[in-house]
Amino acid sequence: MQNFEQYNSIITTGVYGSAIALILIGLYAVLIKKHLIKIVIGLSIIDAGVHLLFVAIGYIKGGTAPIFSPGNEDAVNKMVDPVPQALVLTAIVIGFAVTAVALSLVIRLYKHHNTARIDQIKSLKW
């Protein structure tokens, strides 16, 4: 039983660590990179890291599905909260739409300035 607890602890730490690593990698891309496509990809990576973090926070060890049924009154205290999962599902759809709009803006900027690099767009006169 202790081996299972140790394994579960390692997995939990790995999930939280992966979420934080994704957020930091995306933040690096947004702050350091100069190409607009790379910045949009960085924002998408941050988005994925936040989704993973929300799902990990909403997890309850030994929790059951939130289905109420007769004779299952003891499991009410061990039910997993479905709200974080629903919010993440909604956020994935919104994130996809925001990424599509951001990429369309990058395309418009590229057609107007013939470049997608921030440092070259700033130096051009409108």
Instruction: Return phi, psi of residue 107, to 5°.
Output: -65, -45
Radius of gyration of the chain (CA): 21
pLDDT at 93: 96
Query: Which pLDDT does position 91 carry in this prediction?
Result: 95
What are the distances in angstroms from CA 30 to CA 3, 41, 109, 111, 125?
A: 40, 8, 18, 22, 24
Q: What is the pLDDT of residue 71?
A: 66
The two tokens of residue 32 are 């350091």
Per-residue pLDDT of the chain (126 residues; tens, 9 = 90+): 567 667 677 888 889 999 999 999 999 999 999 999 999 999 999 999 999 999 888 877 777 777 776 766 666 667 787 888 899 999 999 999 999 999 999 999 999 989 999 888 876 565
As a whole number of angstroms, the distance between CA 43 and CA 91 comes to: 13
Question: Quick one: pLDDT at residue 13?
Answer: 86
pLDDT value, residue 74: 64
- Please name each of the domains of the chain with its CATH number: 2-123 (1.10.287.3510)
Output the pTM of the full model.
0.82
Query: What is the Cα–Cα distance from 75 to 77, expressed in whole angstroms?
Result: 5
Q: What does the pLDDT read at residue 73?
A: 64
